């Protein structure tokens, strides 16, 4: 099941933007693709925000969402075959992070261990796709580690719940799962 309303909207916006300009077909295609990506993420984010607001969990959603947004680009992502499944799995991931963070309080000494181990793991599992990316791997790995430490410290010392920590743990768990699946499929 594909959700197409935002795709149609993106095409209409792209057509109105490019109608008066002198754009090549490639540029128009890139504009359309960019708008589809923006509208796709925007409608999912608004949907999640609406749902969590109905349940009075807006602050918790925003905290979990920020943690995901900051770390996910560096650790890679898992793509599902259907957009509908992607929406459901992303929603469930947020729900788990929020409710685990509110219910299961991680002891301080385990938080300190996570502050040390997760950045190291992030540095080690930062994905490399081609030779050009290999040059950026060290910088990306360091940035992943710094962002992870900052997120974990902010949750450890500033938040009453462990929502950010659970969000970070989930991102790392999904990234490790993705790496294991890729290695299994390619028998590396």
Q: What is the pLDDT of residues 71-117, one digit of tens each?
A: 877 776 666 777 788 888 889 988 998 988 888 888 888 888 888 88
Domain map of the chain by residue range?
A: 1-44, 55-186
What is the per-residue pLDDT for 187?
63
Mean pLDDT estimate for the chain? 81
Please identify which residue in the block is written with the tokens 């992607």. 86
Report pLDDT for 145.
Answer: 80
Whether the predicted model's global pTM rises above the 0.85 cut: no
> If you search the block for the tokens 């109905």, which residue do you land on?
54
How far is C-alpha 128 from the geometric centre of its chain's CA atoms?
17
Q: Output 183 or 162, whichever has higher pLDDT.
A: 162
In the block, residue with structure tokens 């099941």: 1
- Name which of 171, 181, 1 is nearest 93 in CA terms: 171
DSSP, residue by residue, the chain: ----HHHHHHHHHHHHHHSSS---HHHHHHHHHHHHHHHHHHHHHHHHHHHHHHTT-HHHHHHHHHHHHHHHHHH-----SSHHHHHHHHHHHHHHHHHHHHH-PPPHHHHHHHHHHHHHHHHHH----SHHHHHHHHHHHHHHHHHHHHHHHHHHHH-SS-HHHHHHHHHHHHHHHHHHHHHHHHT-
Which residue is it, tokens 């916006």? 13
Which of these, 139, 164, 127, lies nearest to 149 by C-alpha position? Answer: 164
Query: pLDDT over 90 for what percent of the chain?
Result: 10
Is the pLDDT at 127 greater than 70? The verdict is: no
Decide if pLDDT at 1 tops 60: no
Give the mean model confidence (pLDDT) for residues 29-55: 89
Comparing 25-29, 92-96, 130-134, 154-158, the range with the smallest average pLDDT is 130-134
Instruction: Answer whether residue 59 shows pLDDT above 80.
Output: yes
């Amino acid at each position: 099941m594909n959700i197409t309303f935002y795709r149609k909207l993106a095409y209409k916006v792209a057509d109105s933007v490019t109608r008066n300009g002198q754009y090549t077909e490639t540029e128009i295609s890139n504009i359309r693709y960019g708008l589809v990506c923006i509208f796709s993420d925007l409608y999912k984010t608004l949907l999640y925000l609406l749902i969590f607001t109905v349940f009075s969990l807006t602050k918790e959603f925003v905290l979990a969402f920020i943690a995901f947004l900051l770390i996910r680009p560096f650790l890679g992502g898992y793509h599902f075959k259907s957009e509908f499944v992607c929406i459901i799995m992303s929603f469930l991931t947020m729900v788990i992070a929020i409710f685990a963070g509110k219910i299961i309080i991680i002891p301080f000494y385990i938080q300190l261990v996570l502050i040390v181990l997760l950045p190291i793991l992030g540095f080690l599992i930062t994905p490399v796709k081609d030779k050009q990316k290999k040059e950026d791997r060290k910088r990306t790995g360091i940035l992943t580690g710094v962002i992870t430490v900052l997120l974990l410290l902010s949750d450890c010392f500033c938040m009453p719940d462990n929502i950010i920590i659970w969000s970070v743990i989930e991102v790392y768990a999904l990234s490790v799962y993705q790496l294991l699946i890729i290695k299994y499929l390619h028998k590396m």
